[in-house]
Amino acid sequence: MSRKSSVWLIVFVCVIALAFIASGCAKKQVVKEEAAAKLPPMEAKKEEVKPAVTPEAAKPAVTPEAAKPEAAPKAEAAPPEAAKPEAAPPAAAIAPESIDLSGLRIQFAFDDYSLSNKSKENLEKIGSWMSKNPNAKIQVEGHTCEIGTDEYNLALGERRANSAKKYLEGLGVTPSRMSTISYGKERPLDPGHTEEARSKNRRDEFVQTK
């Protein structure tokens, strides 16, 4: 097996070398982009690993990628070659100082306070924003749907708020920068009585505080 494959390996390397010499860097980039376009998920994994090697370039690339999958090819190009100029546009897409916290509310299942993967994604974005804004403080509001009595729901809402706060602490956010409050079922997002409305109300809201 080794003889045959080493022959093929040599041929392969020669071909690549020829292509490299003949067409220069640009072409190589094209090749890489096409590859990226074909296999976005794999490239994504690569991105996660990259931060260990090139933190400055990789981090801005990672967050826009998560938010805007269609920009993936652009992001792919950044780390291998000329990282900084490529990284600049994605970084500008999310200004470090502001974030739409209300758009990052997280949902819960009935009578539950565990975090879904989507919730964790949102929390990671918040955690990332907080690490870039060391003076920012937030309040986590825990809410429930209308089912069940006020008192139990106040306790459940608090659990939900604490779940999110603990996860953010795990991401490195200092506990003193976060406060929690439970509103139980007192402040529904949707006052309707359908299951659709109720599922919207089982949530944590994030509010920036002074």
Spatial distance between the Cα atoms of 56 and 102, rounded to a whole number of angstroms? 28
Task: Calculate helix-pair angle for 150-170, 117-132, nearest 10 degrees.
Answer: 60
Burial 169-203 (b: 16+ CB within 10 A, else e): eeeebeeebbebebbbbeebeeeeeeeeebebbbb
Mark the segment that binds other proteins (CB under 8 A) among 74-82, 85-93, 121-129, 152-160.
152-160
Task: Compare residues 171 and 181 and give the one whose CB is closer to other proteins.
Answer: 181
Q: Does 56 bind other proteins (CB under 8 A)?
A: no
Query: How many residues in the shown chain lie near other proteins by CB under 8 A?
Result: 17
Q: Does 150 bind other proteins (CB under 8 A)?
A: yes
Please list, in sequence order, all residues whose beta carbon lies within 8 angstroms of the beta carbon of residue 126, skipping any fewer than 6 positions away: 99, 101, 104, 138, 168, 206
> Using CB under 8 A, which residues numbered 172 to 201 contact other proteins?
180-183, 186
The site string for other proteins over 23-52 (x = CB under 8 A, - otherwise) reads ------------------------------
Spatial distance between the Cα atoms of 135 and 195, rounded to a whole number of angstroms? 39
Q: Does 151 bind other proteins (CB under 8 A)?
A: yes
> Using CB under 8 A, which residues numbered 105 to 124 contact other proteins?
111
Spatial distance between the Cα atoms of 165 and 59, rounded to a whole number of angstroms? 23
Q: In the structure encoding, which two tokens stand for residue 185, read together?
A: 């079922």
Q: Does 155 bind other proteins (CB under 8 A)?
A: yes
Mark the segment that binds other proteins (CB under 8 A) among 38-46, 80-88, 119-127, 144-152.
144-152
Residue numbers of the site for other proteins (CB under 8 A)?
Answer: 111, 147-152, 154-156, 158-159, 180-183, 186
